[in-house]
Amino acid sequence: MAKVKVLGGTGYAGSNIVRVAVERGHEVTSYSRNFPADAVKGANYVTGSVFDPDFLAQVVADADVVVETLSPRGDLEGKLEGVVAELSVLAQDAGVRLGVVGGAGSLLVAPGGPKLMDGDFPVEFLAEATTGEALLEALRVSAGELDWFYVSPAAAFGAWVPGEATGTFRIGGDVLLVDADGNSNISGADLAAALVDEIESPAHRRQRFTVAY
């Protein structure tokens, strides 16, 4: 059993991760601004602000793994990079593994490029994709003492395409995974399953991986 802390644990990705981790018997605490409408039985919930240093320190304290799932929207727009930078320092100092759930925009559409976000990419999501790429690059140049992993979901991922838990998915690296029809999809439940697999059996230390059907 691992002590898993999920920052943004009431959002779409975060709530799925909380649920799957609890189902697998881990000790799970969700950190967010507000309590959820539908709490996961067996999970602990703590509210606060990521701009409060004491709150971030609490997220890392006594954790085995911290998973950051925040979106750079609202009051986090233009500020998520700073929050994750501070979280990285805290995790490194505490010897805690850090997982970051980013987006698909920085994935390559083929080996050698270009990136998904450089093509016919929705303009309304471009800023978020740029932030996601910045978070990944910051992790890649971080000190070797920081044990991190970064997860990029498939291109179609979110509350608008929730999908179902299938238990069957593929794991890739920096290249977007697509099916035989050229589609790239993953449900919240299966992304969470892949991420909790990584917590239980680390295979991507200081690496990005992607999950899709």
Q: Where are the domains of the chain?
A: 3-212
Give the confidence band of 81 by pLDDT, cuts at 50, 70, 90.
very high
Distant-in-sequence contacts of 197-205, Cβ < 8 A, 24+ apart: 198/99, 198/149, 198/151, 199/2, 199/4, 199/21, 199/26, 199/64, 199/65, 199/67, 199/97, 199/99, 200/2, 200/24, 202/97, 202/149, 204/149, 205/147, 205/148, 205/149
pLDDT of residue 41: 98
Q: Identify the sign of the CA torsion 21, 136, 83, 118.
A: negative
Per-chain mean pLDDT for the chain: 97
Q: Report how far residue 199's alpha carbon sits from residue 52's, in angstroms, rounded to the nearest whole number.
A: 27
Mean pLDDT, range 41-57, rounded to an integer: 98
Q: What average pLDDT score do residues 23-51 get?
A: 97
Which helix (DSSP H) or strand (DSSP E) does residue 6 occupy?
strand 3-7
Burial class of residue 132 (count of CB atoms within 10 Å of its CB; 0-12, 13-18, 19+): buried
User: Which pLDDT score is estimated for 106?
Assistant: 97
- Is pTM beyond 0.75? Reply is yes
Q: What pLDDT does residue 6 have?
A: 98
CA distance 22 to 62: 17
Q: Give the number of other CB atoms < 10 A from CB of residue 140.
A: 12
Fold classification of 3-212 (topology level): Rossmann fold (3.40.50)
Distance between first and last Cα of the chain: 28
